[in-house]
Structures are given as structure tokens and as C-alpha cells.
Chains A and B, each alone.
Chain A
């Protein structure tokens, strides 16, 4: 309409950014302004974790898998008409051993639209690139030279045990799940890989390793256990190919009646060239 001033007042913009009743979302002071977050806060930790899911899946390297150590610094900037951008500094640990592996600087942009979070991440590692490659190759050889396809269930089992022979299978599942978890995460919903419910290898004529997985993801803050079927192919030094389909396990009702549609019902996600 004619005569309206160009920029709406700051307070109004904030209302646009804050979904109704969502005390969960941080209240940014003013558009463009930066707000320092408590490094102990869930937003900081959750966002750092998301950045690592992205890194882990993009690197497609079981030997390089990293977990969150501690968040050192976190800043939140709200971008008008766009979303929230987080600036993070955090330490990392080796996913398997828990040993410190260095630190990362990352930015994560959560867009207002329902698109994937945009992640930029740079890490300094204590683990040598050669070391990582060796581990990947070791893992690869173990999985490649199977006369019979590997089959496993409940990794880890109820008591937290992972059979040594199945460790590579588990590590590969973490890589694949990282991709799923990155795609599914939002500013307020995060994931952990809780368990590999089943794993089945497909022996291929080419060099690629191929597995069918059912993985259980633990969803925060809903506490739901999400069951995802994942098909992945892997070759060291190549990007990961993941196809997946997730259904909420809780909707699998005890009596077998009345199921609500799950979050990703009927959607197949595929990354990379066709299988």
C-alpha cells in the first residue's frame, strides 16, 4: 500500500520469526543483532551436534567419525526474513574412543522455510589423515572380503556389547545415520543413533560395500524412538550413497490398529547417483 514506511519496526519482525507459543525458540534481540548463548545450553549443544552430523556424513569416513566434546562459544544471529544463524566453537572427540580429536568452527543456518540447515564447518584434527585412511581401508577390507554376507542384529545389544566382528558394520551405520540425522534435524529437534536393529550386507561385483540397515534414532526433545530403514553404499574416498525411509516406532501400535502417518511416510530420500 502507498505511504507505508519501508522497514517494519523491529518488534514486529521478531513476532514473525517467533512461532506462536514457542518459548523454545530463542528470542533474538533485534534483526541482525548477535546474542551470545550459554555454551551449556541445549541450543548450542544441539546445533553443534547437527554440524557434526553434517560433517560425519559428508566425510563418509568411519575412521574419521567425531562426536561432540564441549561447546566453547556460541552466538546466535537472527537474519531478517531468513532465519537464525549460529556461530559455534566446540571441541570434538573420536566417536569410538572418546579421545579428544581437536576442535571445530561452524556456522549453522536454520531457514524459516522447511529446507535443510545450511552448515559450514572447519575442524582442526589431532588425528592424522593417513591414520584415518588406514583405518578406513582396514574397515573396508574387513567388509569387502566376506564369502558370506554379514548379518547382524541389535548392535549394540541390550547390554551395550558390540561384537568385535560387527564393529565395522556399526561404524558404517553411524556414518549413514549421520546423513539421516542431519536431514531430519531442526533448530528444536535433534537426534542420536540409539541402535542398529538389523544389518544385512549385499555382496556386490564391483568394489562398493553395500548394506541394508534398520537403525533406531533417539529423537530429542520428543523422546521418540524413530525406526529408519537405510540402504547405503560405500567406498573409501567416495561420497556416501544413502537411501532411507523413517517411520516413528511409537506409531506402531500394540494392537496393530489405528496408525497415524509418520513424519516421513512415503518419502524416499536419495543422495548421490542412482544405485
Chain B
């Protein structure tokens, strides 16, 4: 029906002739064959210019008909004289058409300047990338989109830079989706991006943070893998690089960093989901981040999002000994977990990677920590195994909201404790 309305609107608009002022659409309920025949008689009277949207055929179905303004009374009199029941579907068709035109115009305007991106659902890579553009455009005073490299399959790696100015300010790095099947992380990251942008100038904490520091947010660290989870295998974790001498594809990008590379907790088998790769930084997705961090030179915190298990971890993963800053990192981790819990009661376990989850070499926060970025944390978001990777979309926003609180706690500490 909507198509018909649109068609008529366009048709009318193009001809600049036809309007539908005063046209009424009636819904006629027939009870028997006799009444159907009466309506079919009406149908045959062409001079009435009746436009049947649902033609009379069987008493089971209603009959919908558009009647030109000057025929409305006559048709109603006809129906009433035979005791045929009807109701008025549309009093004045032109009013409806005008409203529809207005709605369409409004909607287009909204798409351009405000937000129709549904954060409470999972999106394709293209849709996420489009939203990055929209955010950068809508909040161009503080958000810029930069490309830090290309994936194996030549997809751009986009980072959003949140900055209120200065020159190479101390900065926070946040990334998500390094393991492509962990969909709640990319989804949370784009929500967090929107939150940072819209909070500036409104939320005291975010405002003071951005007045002193920059934030770099990589919402999809592994775009090739992400696309693969949509097109082919929802459970894909690794990159999509070809492995020489093996029919198996991909490297675990979180075993590929130069931190204890080659040690326990990573596989040397290309077919394994924790394959470390032929050498550290062999994966362009990893190398691009390493290069960016090194070139920037002033990154003060490195925060990475994973799922699932509800954990907040600090180094080390490649060895089971405590980092030098263990006490501070543990206390900060607990404070962040406490912030997370304050919203929906979601509990995160806190500890080093090795003691909390498992020994794993070549991980990103081990590299960043050993590189000198003291505040290095890895989050494992919801849930604890019930849905696992397949977290229902209804949990995206709650997850993003609570995660954001945890991130803020850490970022505030980084802001207040320059080193």
C-alpha cells in the first residue's frame, strides 16, 4: 500500500496536475455474494473513476476503494441504500500524502546530521565504517578518522582520533575486534566512540580527559576476519593471511606480538586457532598498530577489548611472574571492575593474564607493557559462557555502557598520574 501512496505522490508531483484533496478511501465489508455483485457493478461504472485498492472478489476479504472527492457522497449513498457496511480508512488522501513527503524529507535530513545508527544491533563492516565517517563528520571539532594501514586483504584499518588540540598530547589507545568472532567488542567500540564524542562538553570526566589527553580508538582491528565471520564462519578468530606451506589460513593476531614470541601458550601449527605466525609482527594488522604506537611516541595507556569471560587483566601472559607495577595495576584493575559492577552488577575477575586466563605468549598488552606503556589492560567482556561469542544483541548496549565505566576509571587514573 505504501508503494501505491508513494507512486501516487511521485506521479502527482511529476504531473503537477493531480491532487487527491478530499479523496476518501473506504473499507467495505461484504457479507455475501450479492453484496460482492453490487460492488462489481459499481466497479464497472467508469465515469465514477473509482480506484479499487482491493477489488471485490470474495466476501472473505474487505474491499478497499479510493473515491474522488466529488463522488464520495454518491458512493456512500449507494452503499447505504443496500445496507452494505463500510468504514473510512482515509479521510483525506492528500493530507496523508503530504505528511509522507514531509516524513521522507525529515528522515533524509536526520540521516545526514543525526543518529539513525542502531547501536543495539550487530553491523557489517561497511556499516561500521560508514558510522565512523558519520561520527567524524558530525563531531568534526574533536573527531578525526585516520588510516593506520591496511589488512592482509587490503581493507583499511581506521582509527578514530579524539582530540581537542595540542600537539602530540599524551594519549590513550583502545582497540577492539582483534579476534573477529568476538562481536560484542566491535559493537561496544562503536558505541564508545559515539559516547566519547557526545560526552565531550557535557560529562565532566570525559571533558577534562580530552582537555589533557587524546584518545585513539581502533574499532575493528581485524576487518578481514570480521567480514569472514559474516560471510562464511561465525567462529573465525584469526586473520586471513595465507600460510606458506600450509592449506590452513590465518594467524592468531594476539599471539603475534613481539612479547615472549615463540614461548608457551601459542601454537606453531598454522591450522591452530592460536597459531602465532611465522614471526613476530608478521601480520600487517599487528604491524600497523605497532608502527602507529612507536611513531606516535606518547601513548600512555594501551587498552584492548576481547570477549568472552568477564575478566580485566594486566600483564603478563607470556610468563607467570608479576610485572613491576603489579600493585598499582592490580588496584586500578579492581577499581575499574568495581565501576563496571556498579551499573548492572556484572562481575569481572581481575588478575594477570597468566593467572586469570592462561599462559599465552605474543599478546598485545605484554608487548605494550614491555615497550613502556605502563597502563596496559585487556578486557574480556560479557558473558561467562552461556552465549559466549554469540551474545544476544540486546546485551550490546549494557555491555558497552558498563565497559565504558571501566575504561573511564582507568583513563582518569592515567590522566591524573602522568609518568
Contacts and interface: CB of A to CB of B under 8 A. Distances in A.
A241 B122 CA distance: 38
A67 B385 contact: yes
B252 A223 contact: yes
Contacts of B248: 250, 253-254
- Majority SS at the chain B contact face: loop
A73 interface: no
A159 B393 contact: yes
Contact of A70 (B234, B347, B388): B347
A38 B351 contact: yes
Given A95-B386, A161-B392, A195-B390, A250 B271 contact: yes
Nearest to A249: B235
Q: Which range contains the number of B residues in contact with the other chain? A: 35 or more
B392 A160 contact: yes
Contacts of B355: 38, 40-42
A192 B388 contact: yes
B113 interface: no
B151 interface: no
A251 B267 CA distance: 14
Interface string A218-237: 10111111000000000000
B235 A221 contact: no
A158 B387 contact: no
A255 B347 CA distance: 43
Interface in B348-395: 349-351, 355-360, 384-395
B320 interface: yes
A32 interface: no
Interface string A248-275: 0111011111101000000000000000
Interface residues of A, number: 43
A253 B237 contact: no
Interface in A138-197: 154, 156-161, 192, 194-195
Given A160-B387, A194-B235, A221 B360 contact: yes
A21 B320 CA distance: 13
A159 B120 CA distance: 11
Interface in B177-231: 183, 229-230
Contacts of B264: 21, 23-24
Contacts of A79: none
Given A23-B320, A70-B347, A192-B388, 16 more contacts: A45-B349, A154-B234, A156-B387, A159-B122, A160-B392, A195-B234, A218-B388, A220-B358, A221-B274, A221-B357, A221-B359, A222-B274, A223-B237, A223-B273, A254-B249, A255-B247
Interface of A: 21, 23-24, 38, 40-42, 45, 49, 67-68, 70, 95-96, 98, 154, 156-161, 192, 194-195, 216, 218, 220-225, 249-251, 253-258, 260
Top-7 shortest CB links A-B: A160-B392, A221-B358, A255-B247, A223-B273, A192-B385, A253-B247, A40-B349
